[in-house]
Chains A and B, each alone.
Chain A
Amino acid sequence: MRAIRHIAVNVFRESVRDKVLYNLVFFAVLLISASYLLGQLTAGQDVKIIKDLGLAATSIFGLFIAVFIGIGLVSKEVERRSVYGVLAKPVRRHEFVLGKYLGLVLTLAVNIAVMAVALYLVLGYMAWMTPANVQAAWDAPALDPALLKAVFLIFVELCLITAVALFFSTFSSSILSAVLTFGMFVAGHFDADLKNFDQVVASPAAGALARGMYYVLPNLASFDVKADVVHGQPVPWALMGLATGYGLVYIAMLVLAAMFIFSRRDFK
């Protein structure tokens, strides 16, 4: 347990110093702030566009963090052989994997929190500048707490993507892991479409393959409640719970598989 904690803290410390991270967070905050200008340009002065852009920026930049730093977690350590020093210490290999994962989850949580705070600051400024009667016409209040639901599910989705990155990086090179993880992200968003793919294509083999992939790939669309939140549609707690549970189960499977593979491999 102690080892896991120290490894996680070390991941956090290392990634905080990595310039990549600064740049990503900087651009995300910049984009969120810039959305204010766009909000000014559009008629109706609605905060929708700010919320839309802000959540999208959080999600996309979070994805970059998850992939670029997530891949570095394990495959870069193996490629650069820094893993040799750690694994000669009283650390079990699965503890190493788990510590790495938790460290990145911590990094993600802090970064997403920073972006969410930036978003709320822009929205708060917008609300302060806008007369009450105009605000009354908005679908949802500027500082709508429901935004946090969307942010939370983005976080769960990114934790899942990180687990995917971790899984690939336990046995493949960093570049290959990055490609595979991005691929998984894209495919995961179209996952729901795969279910009924057999009705669109003639070949039964392709249909079966699509159906197989539907069950294997994570269904990332289930974490996407951005549009509902922005338009003031209610997001039921049951849906939140279900999506979170689904994410956790998927993450657990990936992390366990990563531990299993990592514990048996040679470091050449």
Chain B
Amino acid sequence: MQSAIRTEELTKDYAVGFWRKRPHRALDRLSIDVAPGEVFGFLGPNGAGKTTTLKLLMQLIFPTSGRAEILGQPVGAVAVRRRLGYLPENPYFYDYLTAEELLGYFASLFGYVGPERRRRVSMLLDRVGIGAERRMQLRKFSKGMLQRVGIAQALINDPEVVFLDEPMSGLDPVGRREVRALMLELRDRGTTLFFSSHILADAEALCSRVAILAGGRLTAIGQLSELLAFEIRGWELVVADLRPELIDRLGDVVRHHAEIAPGRYALELTLAEPPERLLAEVLGAGARLVALNPLRDTLEDVFMKHVAEASSHRMTTE
């Protein structure tokens, strides 16, 4: 099947320095392939190259080398732009237009006219929660309101592929939940979503696949379940009616313990030995089993590990 988004060794050097310009590699040979209908999370610390990648995909900047395709056509083709939506990072539009006029203007660039244009504009502004303020000039909008307008304008043409650069930035908790719901709704309609974010909980809630970028390089990519699955880091054992002196006898395999109610303990076990033996011992001493759960890394742990690896790698190569 044709990919929705594909990059091949995509690389971008910025010229930095005032007197003597030298190249600064913002993105280093990025190759990714996103299938239609996927929700793809693009994660990475500040300065990782996320915005750079999105700008390359929108052809706002030209790559130093490598190539990128959207819906099977080279980026920049006008035919492709008809079918995509883009929310820039910290969007900014025209001071003197109202939200309604801005969306109307963008809708007309797609060829919508008359009642159809009006319908789309008001439907989308409703959808992102811009009420009567839609008749206000954008220079009077707050950051979060502008962000909402930015999301609305990215969807004005019912795009097949939507690129969002930090969609949750500047939004209040209600706004975040609304945008999350909106993204899920788009996913259910089969829209391909590609978004960058710092908020790992959003990625965990929304994405089918994520990529982690650090220092311009791809350090991890895969299904969330894959990335998180093999990273079990221990077990959590909850037992009731346990005599506390038994815990000391269990030894180092108990990394951590806490009494959560009288006689009821939560034990965090390392991977040093399988939990079955311990379980047998504890139950043999008269305790009751309440729960035994594997402790997995959260996306945050995975993220931290990959980012740390990338920066230590960079230090050794530089």
Contact = CB atoms under 8 A, between A and B. Distances in A.
A6 interface: yes
Interface string A173-189: 00000000000000000
A17 B94 CA distance: 11
B92 A91 contact: no
A86 interface: yes
Contacts of A85: 86, 88, 91, 93, 106, 150, 153
A125 interface: no
A13 interface: yes
A88 B81 contact: yes
Interface in A101-140: none
B82 interface: yes
Contacts of A239: none
B61 A266 contact: yes
B62 A266 contact: yes
A92 B78 contact: yes
A91 B60 contact: no
A90 B61 CA distance: 16
A6 B105 CA distance: 7
Contacts of A6: 105, 108-109
Interface string B62-94: 100000000000000011011011101011111
A88 B86 contact: yes
Q: How large is the interface on B (under 10, 10 to 19, 20 to 34, 35 or more residues)?
A: 20 to 34
Contacts of B79: 90
Interface in A44-85: 80-85
A13 B97 contact: yes
A89 B105 CA distance: 11
B106 A84 contact: no
B94 A14 contact: yes
B230 to A, nearest CB: 38
Contacts of A90: 78-79, 81-82, 109-110
A3 interface: yes
Interface of B: 14, 55, 58-62, 78-79, 81-82, 84-86, 88, 90-97, 101, 105-106, 108-111, 137, 150, 153
27 contacts: A2-B109, A6-B105, A6-B109, A17-B137, A80-B92, A81-B90, A81-B92, A82-B92, A82-B94, A84-B88, A85-B86, A85-B150, A85-B153, A87-B58, A87-B59, A87-B60, A88-B58, A88-B84, A88-B86, A89-B106, A90-B109, A91-B78, A91-B109, A92-B78, A264-B62, A266-B60, A266-B62
